[in-house]
Each structure stands twice: as structure tokens, then as C-alpha cells.
Amino acid sequence: MAARRPVSLPKLAHPQAVTRRILRLLEAQHPGAFTELTFRNPYELLAATILSAQCTDERVNQVTPSLFARYPTPAALAKATPTSLESQIQPTGFFRVKSRSLVGMAQALVEHHDGAVPADLDALVRLPGVGRKTANVVLGHALGVPGLPVDRHVLRVANRLGIARSADPVVVERQLGAALPKARWTLASDTLILHGRRICKPRPLCDRCRARQQCLYVAEGGRPSPARDTQ
């Protein structure tokens, strides 16, 4: 089992009950929040999430249909060479690194997991190109295991609200995870991501935010802070 990073959790602005209330307000503002990546099975979501690094979901969704038509299974992708993928995934950026990650991921699935995507965080993060955020995306959306992905939007929004306090995604994941029942983790992450994309942008639209009365950023007069204003 992979060693867990020891982290100390700083004191938060809100008690956990307020965190749950804030999330309910935001869930009502963004009903049905879910990943915007298109996928039909865990393998496709894993590959799409690897491609989504530093790229919009919209652009990834333009690339993946032809990619999955050519490589419909991990076994098919495992036989490819990274260079043979490059032109196909070039629009997603960082295509050389991503090509190696995709082929390495598929080969590891075939070699160690009989070609299936494991429903286990520690096993997922051992796959090439798969970090904790990607693993949590796949667990929560395609494998029925609660996952709490923390991306730049979750990091920014949660810190501004005061429901987390750290620039470290692992710490923020643990702070939010401690405040919420496991069954709500994935929806909470999807909701915060959507809120960060639409409302709590780098320049936030606070007058359109249903959680503004509970927001630490607003209470403190919108003062910038490294933990709150990650892009």
C-alpha cells in the first residue's frame, strides 16, 4: 500500500455543520453537477481525465471519440506506441507526456489488473500518469466509490468560503472529507468545480453566489490570500 503523506489540518473558519450547509446552498445553485468529461466506462474516464490536465473538458471531449474508436479497450491501447497517439491527442496539449501516460496506464492495467480499472485509490495512483485527483475522479464517477477530487477550482472556492484552509490539495481533500459524509464527496467536488468555473472565478461574481452570506472572502472584504486565490 502506498504511504500516506502526514498532514496537519489547520483550524477552519467554519464548523463542519456550516460546511455542510454551504454545500447544500451551492448544490441547489448548480443542480445535477457532474463531470463534464464524456465517457462510457471507467477506462474511458481514466484516459479522458489524464488528457484533461491543463486542458478544457470540452476540448478533451472533441478528441476522445476517435481515440476510443481506435483503442476501445486497455488491451488495444497497451499495444500502441506513444508516438502513434501524439497527433490524435495533440489538441489537448502536453501530448508527448500524455501519450506516454496513456500507453503506460493501459499496459499497467493489462499487466496488473487483467485489463480492468481497479476500484482502489492506492492501486490507481500507482498507474503511470495517474495522480490523486485523477484517481478520485474515476472512483467517484465511474466506479461507485466516493472520491473527492481537489482541482484548482475546488482549492480556490473552498479557501475563499472558509470551508478549507490550505494551498495543498491533499489537506483540502481531508478537510472537506472530514466535514461531509462519504456519500456526498463526489457531488461536493463537482459542485465546487462548477461554482469555480461559473461564479467563483478568479474574479468572483459574488452578487450571483448563494453562499455569499457565509463566505469568508466576502466577510474579510475580498482580501487576496495565497490559499484563496489559486488560479
Catalytic positions, written as ranges: 133, 151
Binding mask 177-206 for ligand SF4 (x = CB under 6 A): ----------------------xx---xxx
Q: Is 161 in the site for ligand SF4 (CB under 6 A)?
A: yes
The CB-of-32 to ligand SF4 minimum distance in angstroms stands at 20
Total chain residues near ligand SF4 (CB under 6 A): 14
Task: Name the minimum Å distance from CB 108 to ligand SF4.
Answer: 39
Select 77 or 215, whichever has its Cβ closest to ligand SF4.
215
Cβ distance to ligand SF4 smaller for residue 53 or 164: 164
Q: Which stretch binds ligand SF4 (CB under 6 A): 49-57, 91-99, 154-162, 166-174?
A: 154-162
Of residues 125 and 206, the one with the C-beta less far from ligand SF4: 206
Question: What's the half-sphere exposure (Cβ side, CA atoms, 13 Å) at 178?
Answer: 14
Can you give the chain as a three-state secondary structure string? CCCCCCCCCCCCCCCHHHHHHHHHHHHHHCCCCCCCCCCCCHHHHHHHHHHCCCCCHHHHHHHHHHHHHHCCCHHHHHCCCHHHHHHHHHHHCCHHHHHHHHHHHHHHHHHHHCCCCCCCHHHHCCCCCCCHHHHHHHHHHHCCCCCCCCCHHHHHHHHHHCCCCCCCHHHHHHHHHHHCCHHHHHHHHHHHHHHHHHCCCCCCCHHHCCCHHHCHHHHCCCCCCCCCCCC
Q: Which of 157, 176, 187, 193 binds ligand SF4 (CB under 6 A)?
A: 157
Residue 209 in the binding site for ligand SF4 (CB under 6 A): yes
Q: Which position among 174, 211, 227, 230 is part of the footprint of ligand SF4 (CB under 6 A)?
A: 211
Instruction: Catalog residues that contact ligand SF4 under the rule CB under 6 A.
Output: 157, 160-161, 199-200, 204-206, 209, 211-212, 215, 217-218
